[in-house]
Amino acid sequence: MTDSSSLANDGRSNAPLVHRVDLIVTLILYAVSLWLFYVTTSFDEVSALFSTGMAPEIYPQCILVVIMTLGVVIPFEHRFVEGGAKSLDKGREKPLPRNTLLTALLMIVIASQMPTLGALLTVILNCLLMPLMWGERRPFAILSFTVIFTLCIWALFNYALKVHFEPGLLSVFFE
């Protein structure tokens, strides 16, 4: 059971309601999410071949709503963690690792090629390149991950969610 004296000892009782850095992160998260939500309102109608009975914007909008809902707690997180804001800020002293920024850049580049590559090749490319970027050098592990993960994603969307994506370059094999 937590009493007020234990809260005072770890610095959370006199902490500000919101953590300034986390508030900025949350505002950026909301700005990007709201912009993406707006983008989804301009999605074209789906052809009968790819129709699932669900409007094309619903799934991404649901994901964005979940992200924004989870984002609500970010500015208040310091009030719930052991050690308060100091423990959160302690891990933020070092800049982001170079691989983190390169990963973001690689994902943006690969995602921008999705209209050409298609969803399946985009997932395969991500699965092959990300482990290599983070230092994995065992070919069997990388290929196993790529095959299993790609099949799971494909099965999830095609069979469970009944969402079919444009095949991109693979359309040669699906016509």
Q: pLDDT tens across 63-80, in order?
A: 999 999 999 998 888 777
8 A C-beta contact, residue 75 and residue 18 = yes
Q: Name, in order, each residue with C-beta under 8 angstroms of 136's C-beta and a sequence gap of 6 or more.
A: 142
Instruction: Give the pLDDT of the chain (175 residues) as one tens digit per residue.
Output: 444 444 444 555 566 788 888 899 999 999 999 999 999 888 777 655 556 666 777 888 899 999 999 999 988 887 777 777 777 777 777 888 889 899 999 999 999 999 899 989 999 999 999 999 999 999 999 999 999 999 999 888 888 777 777 788 877 776 6
Per-residue tokens: 124 = 């395969």
pLDDT in the model for residue 36: 93
Sign of CA dihedral 168, 171, 146, 125: negative
Q: On the CB side of 101, how many CA atoms lie within 13 Å of its CA?
A: 4
Q: Which residue spans within 116-166 are E strands per DSSP?
A: none
**Is pTM beyond 0.85 here?**
no
Per-residue tokens: 85 = 């804001």
Task: Give the 3-state secondary structure of 68-115.
Answer: HHHHCCHHHHHHCCCCHHHHHHHCCCCCCCHHHHHHHHHHHHHHHCHH
pLDDT in the model for residue 74: 87
pLDDT in the model for residue 172: 77
pLDDT in the model for residue 48: 59
pLDDT in the model for residue 160: 79
